[in-house]
Amino acid sequence: MEPARLTSTSSDRVKAVRALHDRAGRRKAGRFLVEGPQAVRAALSASSGAGVVVREIFADDDAGSAFADVMQAASAAGVAVVPVTDRVLAAMAETAQPQGVLAVCDLLTPPALSDVLGAQGPVVVLDAVSDPGNVGTVVRTAAAVGAAGVLLTPGSADIHNGKVVRSTAGALFGVPVLAGVTIDDLADGARGAGRQIVVTAGDGATDLFAAVGTGAVGDRTCWIIGSEAHGVGAQARAAADLAVRIPMAPGPESLNAAVAAAVVLYVTRYALSGPTQPG
């Protein structure tokens, strides 16, 4: 039986979804919001094998034709699609233009730190990076380069924050992300996994390209990226095996945190694997 169409913006279901805009509401419900067809599509795809639980989907009148593949994937996964008016969807969404569809998912089950550090590929560690757009962009980049995962120290943005989720463009469901990792836990785990810890810093003693050229960094590197406001913390610097600087022209003091992560990941991966051809 098809769910009844929601038409009232003051209904309890709308209020329940809106409560997920806040961190406290997400924790209380154990759920978070995923907006837009690309992210909903990724969540549904991951639900078949990665432990992502999509509880329900809300779609406006045009979604059935505009995003038929999403509706079909929801049906195949046994996820209810609740039809709603444009006004109801707008009331539920965080964005001004939710693109016709949004989903409610269970909070993601965090991976074990040992699993992330034991996997193949570099690891990105965000040290108190609180900007949700940067956090989401780093997750998206990590997925693109085949990183083993993204770790966030306390003080970083909530990975279930709406802007984080949207900035990942669905990559949140494809790369392991673990929050609340202390530098002490990282240091112990990295040593046990045969990984090195490298901080990026404007005053780093080693140039990035020199570090890559000499093999000082590679696929077993844990790259610590600090916030733009404060850089990497003193504890992270003390735990690091190496401090690497990204060469820049005179003038700028630093790069955006997400850009810095992208640079070190792509430079390292390119050097290790050589040029890639379009496939």
Question: What is the distance of C-alpha 51 from the center of its chain?
Answer: 16
Boundaries of every domain in the chain: 12-106, 113-273
Given a cut of 80, is residue 257 above it in pLDDT? yes
Tell me what pLDDT residue 276 has: 42
Report how far residue 235's alpha carbon sits from residue 84's, in angstroms, rounded to the nearest whole number.
Answer: 50
Quote the percentage of the chain above a pLDDT of 70: 94
CATH T-level fold of 113-273: Alpha/beta knot (3.40.1280)
pLDDT-derived band at 227 (thresholds 50, 70, 90) equals confident
Q: Do domains 12-106 and 113-273 have the same CATH topology?
A: no
Residue 161 DSSP class: S
Kindly give the residue spans of alpha helices, DSSP state H, lying in 146-207.
Answer: 162-168, 183-192
pLDDT tens string 7-27: 999 999 999 999 999 999 999
Which of 217, 127, 137, 125 has the alpha carbon at shortest distance from 171?
137
pLDDT, the chain, mean: 91
Quote the percentage of the chain above a pLDDT of 90: 80
pLDDT tens string 110-124: 999 999 999 999 999
For the chain, the 3-state helix, strand and coil shares in percent, each to the nearest 5, are 40, 20, 40
User: Strand (E) positions, the chain?
Assistant: 31-35, 54-59, 80-83, 101-106, 123-127, 149-152, 177-179, 196-200, 206-207, 221-226, 242-245
Tell me what pLDDT residue 273 has: 61
Q: Which two tokens stand for residue 208?
A: 């990035």
Considering only the top CATH level, what class is 12-106?
alpha beta
For the ranges 14-23, 202-211, 257-266, the lowest mean pLDDT is seen at 202-211
HSE-up (13 A, CA, CB side) for residue 180? 3
pLDDT-derived band at 239 (thresholds 50, 70, 90) equals very high
Of residues 278 and 53, which shows the higher confidence score?
53
